[in-house]
Amino acid sequence: MTKLQSTGLFYISCAFTLGVALTVLFTTLKESPRPLSQSSSAPSPSAVTVDSLIFNEIPTALSWKWQKPASTCNPTDSPRYNRFTQNKYVDAVLARQIGGWMSPSQAILALLLSRHQHDAGICGAVVEIGVHHGLYFTAIMQSVVGAEKAMAIDVFEDQHLNLDRSGSGSYKIFTDTLTTHSIRVSDVDIVKSSSLNIKAPKVVSSVGGVRFFSVDGGHDAMVAYNDLVIAGNSLVDGGIISVDDWYNPNIWAGVTEGVFRYMSAQQLLPGVLPPLIPFLHIENKLLLTTPGYHQMYLNFLKENPFVQRLTSQLYTAPVLDNWEYFHIAANSSVMTQTWREVVNS
């Protein structure tokens, strides 16, 4: 899917959410299309600013069909990282030695869910858009087994591409974090670019189908929507997408909007956008998976003894297509001990 195709889908989903007929949408876009939630003062990539071409790209986008990527690894392979390296990472997170915004509970769940994926025969690459200094990326990287590959996407020092000034990444600090935690920089395909210039085929051709995809890049609605399109089209069956700041309306309402646009668009355009189903809301992250695996993850969360120590409740939300999902709140009093038991189990 091209950047302009993704942009076309974004506008269609806006019309669906607002209850506007497609015919009215086409007329409106042709007369005066405008990207949603984009600051007029921030510089933007050329693909976002070529408004006159957006209308003409919509029919092409509608004719495009999603194809699920295949897994290219073996989930029974040995873990790449041992308990010593994982414990070292645990210590760094608890001591807040890695720059970023994440509680230990989010890393615990990433590790637990990754192990469950492998137990269920699901394998694939780990990818993050918006790695910052590597706090969450290191967590998902510590979960890889065998030949599973990894990709990190960030603008790093090219902050003129950071449309909403969310975060401020550093290539040197990121690679130093990897090295400190026994991750070879050469094992990670590091892409220094705006995600608006990335397509799902580039991800899949580089690292194969993705098992765990973290979306934590630009927090503008269009960028968040674009990143979900990339992640969804890269995901293997049973893969997980983690969306950061998905419900932080006082600061990053654009991410919430981008998620809702995607949820609307996947109903409007079946077979064009890959369907994603939410199963977990943990603090500021929303985790989604592919159809057929939603109940598997819910059952895992209900039954896992480590998850049961955390404050959790099962919800449904109309804005998330009435799918059941768990909400887990942090409980700092059990975090350290839970970390140790998870890593050493």
54 and 202, same domain (yes or no) = no
215 and 278, same domain (yes or no) = yes
Give 158's contacts (C-beta < 8 A, 6+ positions apart): 192, 194
Whole-number CA gyration radius for the chain: 19
Q: What is the pTM of this model?
A: 0.78
Which structural domain range is residue 267 located in? 83-344
Residues recorded for the chain: 345
162 and 90, same domain (yes or no) = yes
How far apart (Å, rounded) are the C-alpha atoms in residues 315 and 171? Answer: 39
pLDDT in tens, 246-295: 877 677 688 888 888 888 888 777 777 889 999 998 888 999 999 999 99
Residue 266 within a domain: yes
Bridge-partner residues for 315, per DSSP? 325
pLDDT in tens, 187-242: 999 999 988 889 999 999 999 999 999 999 877 888 889 999 999 999 999 999 99
Give the CATH number of the domain where residue 176 resides: 3.40.50.150
Question: Which residue shows structure tokens 């042709």?
Answer: 30
Residue 78 within a domain: no
How far apart (Å, rounded) are the C-alpha atoms in residues 241 and 120? Answer: 17
52 and 87, same domain (yes or no) = no
Q: Looking at 33, 63, 93, which one is the last position of a domain?
A: 63
Residue 69 within a domain: no
pLDDT in tens, 283-325: 889 999 999 999 999 999 888 877 777 766 777 776 676 788 8
27 and 170, same domain (yes or no) = no
Residue 271 within a domain: yes
How far apart (Å, rounded) are the C-alpha atoms in residues 165 and 56? Answer: 31
38 and 104, same domain (yes or no) = no
Helix 221-234 / helix 3-18 crossing angle, nearest 10 deg = 110
Residue 223 within a domain: yes
Residue 161 within a domain: yes
161 and 238, same domain (yes or no) = yes
Domain count, the chain: 2
